[in-house]
Amino acid sequence: MKKVGLLFGMEQTFPPALVEEINRRDQGVAAEFVKIGGVTLESLFEYDVILDRISQDVPFYRAMLKVAALNGVRVVNNPFWWSADDKFFNYAVADKAGIPVPKTVLLPSKNHPPDTTADSFRNLMFPLNWQDIFDYVGFPSYLKPFDGGGWKHVYKVDSIEEFFTAYSETADIVMTLQEGIDFTEYYRCYCIGRKHVHIMPYEPRNAHHLRYKADFAPSPEMLKTLEELCLKICNILGYDFNTIEFAVRDGIPYAIDYMNPAPDAERTSVQEENFQWVLNTTATFLIDLAKQGRQVPTEFHWSNFIGTGGAKKKK
């Protein structure tokens, strides 16, 4: 019997439903919640697959998962890549691969990180070339962390004054300033196993519980484009479980947010139809992975996708 383990945090609905669904299918693969104590160098992990929904918040789990992967456990998502990746790198890779992304600038943190002083920043231009940055990105723009999620520290700024007010609240978080896309449609898409895509109209301007009740109706061409972009992005970055957000302006879908390796899958949030899709597709994917058996991860893929340098075109 192969075994799938689920590692999760505060979620209520998705993990138990997934365990139940995998066990209900009775395909020679059992699922359960992971149980873990102290981890030794010689720890043998009893799981063939672990679905990681929480290591972004629990560093102990991330460290444990890296050793599980070393032992061949198929960890979804790859804990090494998740640790190395960030959203600014994502934008840069996508740009080089010819995927439309908003103009984005990486900014030094407002405050010194703990245990550093002004001397730690002797390489930093001071004052920063702010006017060049504002001219490049324009207004309105979004000031948001280069890593993270849950809309934390995401600010829409309409002017230089608003930018500096927002920036002054960001402490030592590394931020990006990004061109605002004035969209007519917005989509959030699940991509599972780098093969299966589910496109969800999403209205970020609605209250939280109504965001998946959007009435954008994508044309068949738009659906095809979004699906191709999702597959390309997940194959470039090597994520097996991800959501990708697109804001559509003048018919062009701009990839806005696509480093979500533990995306929201709560029934109450994503709504029943989307929940059923993510539940069934994840169950099928994890069962297949468990049947393939253990395997140590191979190298990253993004270097295979880089074109001739999209970033240069914007200069």
Ligand X SMILES: Nc1ncnc2c1ncn2[C@@H]1O[C@H](COP(=O)(O)OP(=O)(O)OP(=O)(O)O)[C@@H](O)[C@H]1O
CA-nearest of 55, 49, 13, 14 to 193 is 49
Q: In angstroms, rounded to a whole number, what is the distance separating the alpha carbons of residues 107 and 287?
A: 42
For residue 298, give Cα distances in angstroms to 46, 70, 74, 98, 263.
Answer: 21, 11, 11, 25, 24
What is the per-residue binding string for Mg ion in 202-241, x denoting contact by CB under 5 A? ----------------------------------------
Contact between 100 and ligand X (CB under 6 A)? Answer: no
Our CB check for Mg ion shows the closer of 65 and 199 to be 199
CA distance 101 to 93: 10
Q: What is the 3-state secondary structure (H, E, C) of 196-246?
A: EEEEEECCCCCCHHHCCCCCCCCCHHHHHHHHHHHHHHHHHHCCCEEEEEE
Q: Which of 72, 201, 204, 218 is in the footprint of ligand X by CB under 6 A?
A: 204
Which residue number, 240 or 257, has a Cβ lying nearer to Mg ion?
A: 257
Q: Looking at 21, 48, 185, 257, which residue binds Mg ion (CB under 5 A)?
A: 257
* Burial category of 239 from C-beta neighbours within 10 Å (exposed 0-12, middle 13-18, buried 19 and up): buried
- Give the whole-angstrom CA distance, residue 262 versus residue 282: 12
Instruction: Please name which of 70, 92, 89 lies closest in space to residue 79, comparing C-alpha atoms.
Output: 70
For the CB of residue 2, give the shortest distance to ligand X in the complex, in Å: 32
- Closest approach of Cβ 238 to ligand X, in Å? 18
Query: Is the CB of 204 or the CB of 218 nearer to ligand X?
Result: 204
Site string for Mg ion, 79-118 (x = CB under 5 A): ----------------------------------------
Min dist CB 257 to Mg ion, Å, is: 4
Nearer to Mg ion, 79 or 149 (CB): 149
Window 174 to 203, contacts with ligand X (CB under 6 A): 178-181
Q: Are strands 141-145 and 241-249 parallel, antiparallel or unpaired?
A: unpaired
C-alpha span between 239 and 77 (Å, rounded): 6
| Minimum distance of ligand X from residue 148's CB (angstroms) | 6
Q: Which residues bind ligand X (CB under 6 A)?
A: 102, 142, 144, 148-152, 154, 178-181, 204, 245, 247, 256-257, 260
Q: Which residues bind Mg ion (CB under 5 A)?
A: 257
